[in-house]
Amino acid sequence: MHEVQSDDQGVQSTKSGVGTDAVNFGLPREWRVPRNLSLDNVICQVHKGLSTRRTLNQFCEHMAFVSQTEPKTVADALEDSNWIPAMHEELNQFARNEFWKLVPRTNQMNVIGTKWVFKNKLDEQGVIVRNKARLVAKGYNREEGIDYGETYASVARLEAVRLLLAYACMNGFKLHQMDAKSAFLNGYIDEEVYVCQPPRFEDHKHLDYVFKLEKALYGLKKAPRQWYERLSNFLLSHAYERGKTDKTLFIKKAFNDIILIQVYVDDIIFGSTNQNLCEQFVAAM
């Protein structure tokens, strides 16, 4: 071991010639390894930057506008001021999409009940970012062959998604993900379906009225099928071709370029060798 001496200024040095700055850092100079500043060694998301007190304050302010609990009943949700806008947002989507119309109730109608479902939406870090209230139909009251027919809807398999990822890597293009907001509300129904008015949001002037659905509602047995049919018909009308083996894969060729679209219920993965085709698809959707 080297003998350590102390000079008049109180700075330590060694007889072996190691500099005083190295001793102050705790390691000899020849032991220190230069820092590798390559971004490949960064395990966090670089574009988000550092978490400072300012971002923490913004996070706390955002948390004040969302509820941390999921109510079990409508009465519990109405007692929380954060869930009321979520319920209004759901009903406003029905109005914008011309989803239903209020009609008088008759004895010949098979009216289906409705209920509210409350769910907190999380981000990739598990933080609650949104309170989602969804109005669903009590579809379990319907009988097959009487109230509805075929309910089968194609769903992408995990093997198909892996093949799409491999093909994208082989051809060197990016894949994008798209989520259809309230997807089932876009599917048209080919039968008469009547549902009760939303609990605690009834029309007090027409309490005995019911809603006649123009489009599919979450909870109905045929809702996934109706959404898939409308989406597939839309893509086929825009010169896309459906896969012969995988019915959830849609392909469109333009000269030497190609765009691939993989559908999994309301989640869509797409990519192209030409970015302009992706932009055209997003604009069309």
Exposed, middle or buried by CB within 10 Å (0-12, 13-18, 19+), for 213? Answer: buried
Assign 215 to helix, strand or coil: strand
Q: In what order do the strands lie in the sheet with 194-195?
A: 100-104, 209-213, 194-195, 111-112
The domain spans of the chain are 4-48, 53-284
Those residues of the chain that have pLDDT short of 70 are 1-64, 141-151
Question: Concatenated DSSP letters for 97-127?
Answer: TT-EEEEE--TT--EEPEEEEEEEEE-TTS-
* H/E stretch holding 241: strand 241-242
Question: Which amino acid makes up residue 110?
Answer: N
Assign 173 to helix, strand or coil: coil
Assign 278 to helix, strand or coil: helix
How far apart CA 233 and CA 245 sit, in angstroms, is 18
Task: Dump pLDDT digits (tens) for 31-74.
Answer: 555 555 566 655 556 565 555 555 444 444 445 578 888 999 99
Q: Which pLDDT does position 6 carry in this prediction?
A: 43
Nearest residue to 206 (alpha-carbon basis) of 196, 192, 193, 216: 196
How far apart CA 202 and CA 191 sit, in angstroms, is 24
Q: Which pLDDT does position 145 carry in this prediction?
A: 61
Both tokens of 214, joined, read 């123009």
Q: Which pLDDT does position 87 carry in this prediction?
A: 93
Alpha-carbon distance values, 28 to 22, 25, 131 (Å):
5, 8, 56
Question: Concatenated DSSP letters for 26-69?
Answer: TS-GGG-------GGG--S-GGG----HHHHHHHHHHHTTS-SS
Task: Dump pLDDT digits (tens) for 171-205.
Answer: 999 999 998 877 888 888 878 889 999 999 999 89
Q: Which pLDDT does position 30 carry in this prediction?
A: 57
Q: Which pLDDT does position 177 carry in this prediction?
A: 92
Nearest residue to 177 (alpha-carbon basis) of 283, 275, 262: 262
